[in-house]
Structure 1
Amino acid sequence: MRVRATAATAALLLAALTACGGGNDGGDSASKPKAAASSKGPAEAKVDCMADDVSQADWMEYCSDEGAGTGGDGTEGQSTGLKFGESYTWPDGLKVSVVEAKKWTQFTNEDYAEDDPAYTEFRVKLKLTNGGESAVKLDDLSVIVEGATNGGEASTTGFATDSQPLEGRLAAGVTATKTDDNALETKYGTKIVVTVQRSSEDLGLEFPEFEGAITG
């Protein structure tokens, strides 16, 4: 009986050890990390940011980091609330900024205006850089000046001295300074908003607005 009991005990111990060994094998298998599944997202849409036919929507979505609405001065994608000296770039690469609006005092007989105390006559200076690949028609640009305090809109005039009107073409890679002459009733103050418009078949084209004051 003692031998049988010992054998039985040994059999039980062997079964227990076998069971433990099987559990370890399963645990090792379960503890092995699974290989991470590699995934590759869809390729990003590509847009030729310098193409003449790129839409405003595509430009804002895919090209804004390359210059749309910015001149490197932190105004990415912004067309309103710009300050004098800041810039805006259209989808074709034409960049515009308002340098200054300065009171005019050098009247001559060739001017279309005279020194009228009821008006503030002034000249707006625009800086234009053609960063595109083809010439740009400057005749397509126009300027509207509005009072920024209590309303009013400036009327267009012309001063002969050092005039550089928005005419002709601006070649690719060229920067030029152009002028636009205006007169605003003095009752509207000297704070103004200058809007630079551009003729285009793209109805979604932005017209940047620059805020500043008439100085001098």
Structure 2
Amino acid sequence: MTRNIADIRRDYEGGRLDTSLTPDEPFSLFDEWFTLALDSDESDGNAMTLSTVDSQGRPHSRVVLLKDFDENGMVFFTNYHSHKGSELNNVPYAALTFWWPSLSRQVRIEGRTEQVSTQESDEYFSSRPRGSQLGAWIATQSVVIPDRNWIEERQKRFEQAYEGQEIPRPIHWGGYRVIPDMMEFWQGQPSRLHDRIRYERRDGEPWKRFRLAP
């Protein structure tokens, strides 16, 4: 490597995040930040890193897309037989990380997970473009395949099978909801003196919030 990455620097700038000016619960603050993130980056503002743990305790992370959220949690969709699906079936806890560089903001979320209802998965699947619907059938996610031709041949077969028909949702494809018990808001500040506000709750109790050292 010809470039010294240790010398890469960025001085963060952002509005102050004051505990006294934050709401009693985290979802309205997340909604405010998320709306600004979409205004700043409409294409990727809903991208988030999903971290799961396998049966050996090894963590795994990948980027997925947030597709819905409310006070009950954050929803994403995937193949239930994928690596992340298998991991969540064995250890039903996950962590999410949002990073919005143009705003110098990060949000971390942790909590237990559950599959969303069949109705929720059906409704979202029906809203997807036809190509994405076919993709849920074509890709046996996370399995080893011989080459790109394997995917293209399966694509042809499924296109023919569903030509002129409505594409049903595969039973192995649907949504997960991450139900937060921790949400942390990070606002970048100059000289690495960042603002961090953490919300926590346990067993359905009211949310508690704390200011953390940078």
TM-score scaled by length of structure 2 = 0.29
Higher fraction of helix: 2
Please tell me whether Structure 1 or Structure 2 has the larger radius of gyration of its CA atoms. Answer: 1
